[in-house]
Amino acid sequence: MKRRHFFAGAAATAVAASGVNRVALAALPEVVQQTSPDMAAPWTPPGVTGAGRPYQPVVTLNGWTLPWRMKDGVKEFHLVAEPVVREMAPGFLVNMWGYNGQSPGPTIEVVEGDRVRIYVTNRLPEHTTIHWHGQRLPNGMDGVGGLNQPQIQPGKTFIYEFVARRPGTFMYHPHADEMTQMAMGMMGLWVTHPKGRHPLIDEVQRDYCFLLNAFDVEPGSMTPQVNTMLEHNIWSWNSRVFPGITPLVARLGDRVRVRVGNLTMTNHPVHIHGIEFEVTGTDGGPVPKSARWPEVTTDVAVGQMRQIEFIADEPGDWAMHCHKSHHTMGAMGHGVPTMIGVDHRGLVGRLQRAVPGYMVMGERGMADMGEMEMELPHNTFPMMTGTGPYGAIEMGGMFTTLKVRADQKAGDYSDPGWFAMPPGTQAREVATPTAEAAQPPATTAEPATAPATRATVRKPQGNSGHAH
């Protein structure tokens, strides 16, 4: 009797604090955890009575969809805010805060018109809340700590409950100590599918989603620095970096949708090779067809979502990346001096006597970094990394591939391997007509005796330079 009173009392207190109705007194939904950073197969709801309307599920890059239970016509979810360890790339582990074992948290997928109840349990060392970015909902469910609700204290569980009123792509993240909690990886995606046919939402064969996020993890350490505003050194998609990001796979001719949300503190021009796409929706809703235009890059500003669509009608392995070249790099500091054109001859031996192991780098550009087997500090990843069928792919961070294949089966998201190019369709070396034309451009700097205003220009044809 005492025991029962105790539990009833505890539940009543939690409910009173959350200000939600009595249905909450029922047992909490099971907490589903995911510890693998592998991309989960699309989650199709169980075919139980009242499971809701069917839809084409999304696939979260290196992520998963949170299962729900149906209770009295309400879809119930249980999110647990907690410390997690995320593998950002093979061998590179970072201490983050996330939800249900991962950062980002699981994707929540519902259908327009669904009544949704989300239990949020706080296992962090400080209070938190969840804001449902972009959703139409009652003001008290909007999740801004202090403004719309009291904070969820450590150890407590709150309930959010509302109807998913409009279809689209949304994000969720704390609105409590945002700087720290988002820098630690607390975020997730929410997809509301349209009920029935929607004039502005086409059916697609593949529907991918991911969040742009960023971390500042000192090489050799495991915990992000949370006060960094712009100089992050880890630029990631769903808390993963190339070569750890799953490729987007499509069958030739598929209509593909990609939903990209930005919860970093700078914009990211997301670029896809080989196809043209249209922005068919934002976090504000579907874009009218008359307002769409073809693009190959779309800038996703801070706090925005861009939903893009294309027909995968060109077979191959197409690069897909943020077009800011520093965002396709690994964890190297930006304090490295530019060494292009600097003549190191005669210097290395002397430097190595003072600094054993000193290495000349960068005097021909930085491409050598992609192939160099440098000894890295513990727990980081190379600045340029990943190997393709033709050598090092000199990228890291926000980079992956779009793999389009004629023989990819419908619903098969597995990596088909590298593209076999039809004979005669690949760039190749040409036999040089003269020895002179094969000369590489000079790399030495101007003579030390030259006046400061003088520059030597050499043309690729091997013509001697002329002065300016």
Q: Which is nearer to Cu ion, 245 or 322 (CB)?
A: 322
Report the number of secondary-structure helices (H) and strands (E) in the chain. Answer: 4, 26
Q: Residue 361 CB, nearest distance to Cu ion (Å)?
A: 24
- Measured from the CB atom, the residue of 53 and 324 that comes closer to Cu ion is 324
Please, what is the minimum distance in Å from the beta carbon of residue 309 to Cu ion?
A: 21
Name the strand (E) or helix (H) holding 385.
strand 385-388
The answer to whether 254 touches 205, Cβ cutoff 8 Å, is yes
| Interaction site with Cu ion (CB under 5 A) | 268, 322, 324, 327
Q: How far is the CB of 147 from Cu ion (least distance, A)?
A: 31
- DSSP letter for 28, please: P
Nearer to Cu ion by Cβ, of 29 and 330: the residue is: 330
Angstrom distance (rounded) from CA 108 to CA 120: 13
CB of 366 to Cu ion, least distance (A): 18
Name the residue among 250, 167, 251, 249 with its Cα closest to residue 202.
167
Overall size of the chain counted in residues: 468
- Residue 300 vs 404, nearer CB to Cu ion: 300
Estimate to the nearest angstrom the gap between the alpha carbon of 167 and the chain centroid.
22
Q: Which is nearer to Cu ion, 96 or 322 (CB)?
A: 322
Q: Residue 69 or 324: which CB sits closer to Cu ion? A: 324
In whole angstroms, how close is the CB of 325 to Cu ion at the nearest point?
9
**Residue 419 burial (CB count, 10 A):** 16
Per DSSP, the residues of 393-461 read EEE-BSEEEEEEETTPPTT--S---S--PPTT-S------SSTGGGPPPP-SPPPTTS-TT--EE--TT
Q: Which is nearer to Cu ion, 381 or 413 (CB)?
A: 381
Rounded (to 5) percent helix, strand, coil in the chain: 10, 35, 55
For 192, left (φ over 0), alpha (ψ -120 to 50), or beta? beta
Helix (H, G, I), strand (E, B) or coil at 167: coil
**311 C-beta neighbours (distance < 10 Å), count:** 17
- Residue 259 or 327 having the CB closest to Cu ion: 327
Least Å distance between CB 368 and Cu ion? 24
CB of 396 to Cu ion, least distance (A): 12
Shortest Å, Cβ 241 to Cu ion? 12
Tokens of 146: 């202090």
